[in-house]
Amino acid sequence: MKLIECPRDAMQGLTEFIPTATKTAYLQALLAVGFDTLDFGSFVSPKAIPQLRDTAEVLAGLDLSQTKTQLLAIVANLRGAETAALHPEIRYIGFPLSVSETFQQRNTNKSIIEALAELAQMQNLCEKSGKTLVTYLSMGFGNPYGDPWNPEVVAEFTQTLADMGVGIVALSDTIGASTPATIAPLFGQLIPAFPGIEFGAHLHTTPTSWREKVEAAYQAGCRRFDGAIGGFGGCPMATDVLTGNMATENMVAYFREQGEELGLDMAALGEAQRLAGGVFHF
């Protein structure tokens, strides 16, 4: 089991700027919990995501000497990946590749064809710099734009990524459109078809539908899950109304029910939850 905590996703849509010191203190608390990975920041245009303009400063303020958690940074283009690759503390570089042409343009200001060409360059950069590329298949469970979507389309994208040598693919429910009826068949088809790829679930949800979504992905064989404490966040580039992230505390409870050893410091998780209330005002 791998749990990826995503404070970056939780923060990015907030209009009120969170002070750098507050971000740093919150991330430091998350590093004590024992998550596999911390999606901590993003090297993107400050005009696009002003909340994350201080990612480099936040990174410089973190003490990584006592944590097993690896850091992941999201980028929107090769330039961002090149910046992220300069930081030895960062293990993973994440790029959102959309199954929807409309959302690819809206999110990264480029076509899918252009994004794939740039992603190939990012994969090469990661191989040369000792990083690992994580590709998020945005709108992986459908889209609100009427763009083509079905499991075969997702499989075709995945094959292209496999041919590039990409080793981690996170199916991303950018707007909360997924249901167990779409989640289970998709993971059930892809996981055995691509044994060389580690598949993740980046699911957005409402407070009442989280369990059925996690359960569908878990029972279909997924063992990598993204979440955010409190379930806060969502993609500001997708719709005008944000659909929250999967609440980490809910996933932890579910996986412990299944007998999974998560290796988390539960006291540190409780402290991080306490701090999150002040950061996100919930």
In a domain, 31, yes or no: no
What are the phi and psi torsion angles at 73 (to 5°)?
-120, 140
Q: What is the pLDDT along the chain (282 residues), one digit of tens a residue?
A: 999 999 999 999 888 999 999 999 999 999 999 999 999 999 999 998 999 999 999 999 999 999 999 999 999 999 999 999 999 999 999 999 999 999 999 988 899 999 999 999 999 999 999 999 999 999 999 998 999 999 999 999 999 999 999 999 999 997 788 999 999 999 999 999 999 999 999 998 888 889 999 999 999 999 999 999 998 875 433 343 445 789 999 999 999 999 999 999 999 999 999 999 889 876
CA distance 263 to 109: 39
In a domain, 23, yes or no: no
Helices (H), the chain: 7-11, 20-31, 55-60, 78-85, 101-108, 112-129, 151-164, 180-193, 210-219, 248-257, 266-280
Q: Residue 133: beta bridge partners?
A: 93
Q: Indicate the SS3 state at residue 72.
A: strand
Residues 120, 133, 124, 155: is their CA dihedral positive or negative?
A: negative
Number of domains in the chain: 1
Q: What are the CA-CA distances from residue 252 to residues 39, 113, 159, 204, 272 (Å)?
A: 17, 38, 31, 16, 14
- Round the CA-based radius of gyration of the chain to a whole number and report it: 17
In a domain, 164, yes or no: yes
Is the separation of the CB atoms in 48 and 59 below 8 Å? no
In a domain, 189, yes or no: yes
CA 60 to chain CA centroid, nearest Å = 22
Largest CA distance in the chain: 47
In a domain, 187, yes or no: yes
In a domain, 160, yes or no: yes
Structure tokens at 160: 């292209």
Could you list the residue range(s) of the whole structural domain that residue 77 is in?
41-49+72-260
Q: Indicate the SS3 state at residue 44.
A: coil
Q: What are the CA-CA distances from residue 144 to residues 165, 172, 178 (Å)?
A: 30, 14, 12
Residues contacting 44, CB < 8 A, separation 6+: 52, 74, 75, 76, 80
Q: What are the tens digits of pLDDT across the range 256-277?
A: 999 999 999 999 999 999 999 8
CA distance 40 to 28: 10
Is the separation of the CB atoms in 112 and 103 below 8 Å? no
Q: What are the CA-CA distances from residue 228 to residues 22, 185, 225 (Å)?
A: 17, 25, 10
What CATH number is associated with residue 219?
3.20.20.70
Residues contacting 15, CB < 8 A, separation 6+: none
Is the separation of the CB atoms in 166 and 133 below 8 Å? yes
In a domain, 1, yes or no: no
Q: What are the tens digits of pLDDT across the range 155-176?
A: 999 999 999 999 999 999 977 8
